[in-house]
Amino acid sequence: MKQITKYVIKNSLKRIFLYRACLVRLKRMGVEKVFSFTLGHETGVSAAQVRKDFSEFGIKGNKRGGYEIDELLTIMENIFHKNKDHNIVLIGMGNMGQSLSKYSRFIQRNMNIVATFDIDPFKQKMRSEIQVYPMNRLKEIIERFRVKVAIIAVTEISAQEVADELIRHGIMGIVNFAPVLLKVPQNIVVNNVNLCDELESVIYIVHNNMKADSFKNIELLYKDMRY
């Protein structure tokens, strides 16, 4: 059954990413051990939360000794299957697609965009580090590189169609930059990234803070008047 599946990415998983980034930084600085307190402090998380998260992912430390950074990173690599490479395809070589295809951090983290696709033959001729293929070669490439995850960066209108085709050819996970909720079978993972919403929510909070601030002032004033 096709439907809007909600693979909510758990906060604990997001925090694990935070921890990892922080650990990498600490390691570069020459630090070898951390306590839950330190790691929490650096990532804006309570020490207990760090330990609970670790416990959820089956990570054990040393009583009194804290956690060995190298050891932690190795465990995390295993959790995230960083020992193997991950082949990705990217559909849509418009503005955002092109930028994503050049995004070097993906490679640094063993995620390789092995091929990009576009319906526009002009974009296919474009000189780009990664080959741009026409859509009819999707199946072939996905199979050849055993691709399981795709990035959709096409327009709102064609996103659903592209998703359907990807899934037909064996894609199991999608990062979707198009502002539509994709209808997919239950077992397919979809992560929607909506840049407008990200920006807009900041604007919203900033505005409301400013309003809240003015209320705060009124309250303060009131207190001053009473005492």
d(CA 177, CA 154): 8
Of the candidates 187, 224, 225, 227, which one interacts with its own copies according to CB under 8 A? 187
- Which of 14, 60, 137, 146 contacts its own copies by CB under 8 A? 14
Residue 151 is a binding residue for DNA (CB under 7 A): no
Does 81 bind its own copies (CB under 8 A)? Our answer is yes
Longest dimension (CA), the chain: 77
The residue within the footprint of DNA, chosen from 52, 82, 148, 183 (CB under 7 A), is: 52
User: x-or-dash pattern for DNA, window 152-191, by CB under 7 A?
Assistant: ----------------------------------------
210 binds its own copies (CB under 8 A): yes
Structure tokens at 94: 């418009």
Cα 219–Cα 221–Cα 224 angle in degrees, nearest 5: 115
Look at strands 33-34 and 67-68 and give their pairing: antiparallel
Q: Which of residues 199-218 bind DNA (CB under 7 A)?
A: none
Of the two residues 5 and 38, which places its CB atom closer to its own copies in the complex? Answer: 5
**Element counts in the chain: helices (H) and strands (E):** 10, 10
Query: How far is it, in rounded angstroms, from Cα 203 to Cα 188?
Result: 32
In angstroms, rounded to a whole number, what is the distance separating the alpha carbons of residues 17 and 79?
A: 11
| Shortest distance, position 15 Cβ to DNA, whole Å | 8
Interface ranges with DNA (CB under 7 A): 10-12, 34-37, 45-49, 51-52, 54-55, 59-67
